[in-house]
């Protein structure tokens, strides 16, 4: 009798365990389904966005719109805040209605000089001697002016000097370029507009010139002026 009761008790215990496991599975499955059906906010492209677009323009413009979708439909890497891409650059195009994911972006620095340009900005490489390029002093991110001494007929001494471009950003500082066993002139890469590049090119091809380093903070500009032999002799010490 005792043996029978023990077997019955074991069978009942196993049945209870099986029932509890089944109940646990059903509850957990229901919870998972409900979690997947819950809606979350993501951002999608409001229009087609080409590769190369700056993240800051995408994040702070009208390129994105918020929408709610089931959690199970969220694409891996989808952003929940536009500021997540503000410091990045788009490497693949986004099409209207697509979820915006971090996988489509890369770090601006990883794109090099190209990642720092937008709109009418251009990058131009300028060769010169170490003095003209402030080699050893100039660093990437510095700002410079371009000073030119131009040959001008009819002026005292036949030359005139002035600052022809101001506040140019250095995208890549001066460094000697190697080509095989021969060392070439050092060069810098400057950020200019599509109009400024014409003046820069003219000066470097037709005048004596040099870059001058601007203060990193609170730089100001004096009134523009042109100097020649007469103005230098007559002006005395000026500030």
pLDDT tens track for 4-31:
777 667 777 777 777 777 777 766 666 6
> What percent of the chain clears pLDDT 70, i.e. is strictly above it?
84
E runs forming strands in the chain: 39-45, 64-70, 88-90, 105-107, 121-127, 143-151, 159-179, 182-193, 208-213
Give the pair of three-digit tokens for residue 151: 């040959």
pTM of the model: 0.54
Q: What pLDDT shows up at residue 152?
A: 83
Least confidently predicted of 29-33, 42-46, 49-53: 29-33
Please give the average per-residue pLDDT across 203-208, as a whole number.
93
Q: 106 near 74, Cβ under 8 Å?
A: no
Whether the per-residue pLDDT at 69 is higher than 60: the answer is yes
pLDDT at 176: 45
Lowest mean pLDDT among 93-107, 140-154, 186-200, 223-237: 223-237
The rounded radius of gyration (Å) of the Cα atoms in the chain is 33
Domain ranges of the chain: 40-112, 119-216+225-231
pLDDT-based confidence at 1, cuts 50/70/90? low
**β-pair partners for 134:** none
CATH number at 40-112: 3.90.1210.10
pLDDT-wise least confident of 145-154, 185-194, 229-238: 229-238
Q: How many CA atoms lie within 13 A of 82 on its CB side?
A: 18
| pLDDT > 80? residue 206 | yes
Q: 213 in the Ramachandran plot: left (φ > 0), alpha (ψ -120 to 50) or beta?
A: beta
Chain centre distance of CA 34: 40
| Residues in Cβ contact with 143 at an 8 Å cutoff, skipping those fewer than 6 apart | 167, 168, 169, 170, 213, 214, 216, 219
pLDDT of residue 10: 74
Statement: residue 178 has pLDDT above 50: no
| pLDDT of res. 179 | 46
Q: Where in 128-203 does DSSP place strands (E)?
A: 143-151, 159-179, 182-193
The CA dihedral of 189, 192, 194, 200, to the nearest 10 degrees, is -80
């Amino acid at each position: 009798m005792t043996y029978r009761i023990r077997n019955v008790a074991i069978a009942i215990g196993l049945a209870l365990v099986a029932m509890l496991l089944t109940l646990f599975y059903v509850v957990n499955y229901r919870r998972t389904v409900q979690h997947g059906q819950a809606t979350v906010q993501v951002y999608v492209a409001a229009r087609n966005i080409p590769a190369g677009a700056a993240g800051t323009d995408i994040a702070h413009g009208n390129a994105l719109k918020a929408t709610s979708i089931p959690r199970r439909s969220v694409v891996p890497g989808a952003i929940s805040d536009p500021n997540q891409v503000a410091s990045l650059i788009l490497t693949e195009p986004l099409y209207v209605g697509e979820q915006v994911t971090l996988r489509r972006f890369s770090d601006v620095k990883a794109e090099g000089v190209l990642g720092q340009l937008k709109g009418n900005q251009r990058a131009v490489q300028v060769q010169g001697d170490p003095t003209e390029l402030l080699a050893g002093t100039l660093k990437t991110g510095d700002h410079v002016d371009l000073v030119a001494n131009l040959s001008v007929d009819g002026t005292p001494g036949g030359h005139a000097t002035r600052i022809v471009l101001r506040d140019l950003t250095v995208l890549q500082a001066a460094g000697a370029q190697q080509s095989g066993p021969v060392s070439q002139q050092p060069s810098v890469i400057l950020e200019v507009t599509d109009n400024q590049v014409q003046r820069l090119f003219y000066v470097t091809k037709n005048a004596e010139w040099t870059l001058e380093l601007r203060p990193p903070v609170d730089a100001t500009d004096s009134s523009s002026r042109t100097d020649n032999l007469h103005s230098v002799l007559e002006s005395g010490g000026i500030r």
